[in-house]
A = this chain, B = another copy of it.
Amino acid sequence: MSRQAITLTTDFGMGSPYVAEMKGVILSVCPEIVIVDISHQIAPQDVRQAALILDQAAWRFPDGTIHVCVVDPGVGTERRIVFVQLDRQSFIAPDNGVLSRVMKRGELRRAWEVTRQDLWQHPVSNTFHGRDIMAPVAARVATGQPLERLGPATDRLTMLDWPEPEVRGAEIRGQVLTVDSFGNLITNIGRDLLDRLGSSAAISVRCAGHTIRGVVRTYGHRAPGTLVALIGSSGLLEIAVVQDNAARRLQVTSGAVVTVS
């Protein structure tokens, strides 16, 4: 039988012991598990950024992987913790919308409120449910704990609004969804939508007062320093500066308007 994997996505940063505390708890329950970090550099309390990064990485993992996502500004309050089983992957997270991107893409099988305290790590702190609830529950599920035992089933899950691009005739009006570690601006405009506008050479992309003519296949097809538009590795329109940082050059961040015509 192949080993199972648990991934971790948090806003804990790299300098704190919190990530390692979660890993210790997981390994104590389930020493055979593979633990993979998705990111611990989510901006503090930035549920939207975590939702996007989780959705980008999760689907690459083996079927049956359990993704633990701890961006949890409401920790210790009445907010629920949920375990959500989509068609190929499972997720445990606070019910604050952090799963609302993966739920747009994956098909929901079932979901549970995580309430059964005998599966938790005691004493439970009021400020670190990632360590005391989510990590041990994920590890117990990985060792075969039936999902029905986690708590009551639920079909009410918090969904955030995600801006959709608007199409008006021959123009698409979208926005920058996120900025990656290279400073590339990743928009919410997908390849399919772009294809409707016809040939990529005839397209022009506008953002922050700049106009880019044509969509290139990849960065290396233009000289270093050139502002380009292309379809990035997630199938989304991306604005980049070849071998440089577009976010810095254009002074742009998430939410900036991007128009394609």
- Flag if A39 contacts B57 (CB, 8 Å): no
- Among B22, B39, B77, point to the contact of A20 (Cβ < 8 A): B39
- Flag if A76 contacts B14 (CB, 8 Å): no
Complex copy number for this chain: 3
Contact string against B for A residues 21-62, beta-carbon threshold 8 Å, 1 for contact and 0 otherwise: 111110110011011111111101100000001101111111
Q: Does A137 contact B (CB under 8 A)?
A: no
- Flag if A41 contacts B21 (CB, 8 Å): no
- Flag if A230 contacts B126 (CB, 8 Å): yes
Among A107-115, A161-169, A212-220, A250-258, the one that faces the other chain is A212-220
Count of chain A residues with Cβ under 8 Å from any Cβ of B?
71
- Flag if B243 contacts A44 (CB, 8 Å): yes
22 contacts between A and B (CB under 8 A): A5-B31, A14-B14, A14-B181, A17-B38, A17-B57, A18-B181, A20-B38, A20-B39, A21-B60, A23-B61, A24-B58, A31-B62, A45-B243, A60-B131, A73-B219, A76-B220, A76-B221, A79-B220, A125-B233, A127-B231, A127-B238, A131-B233
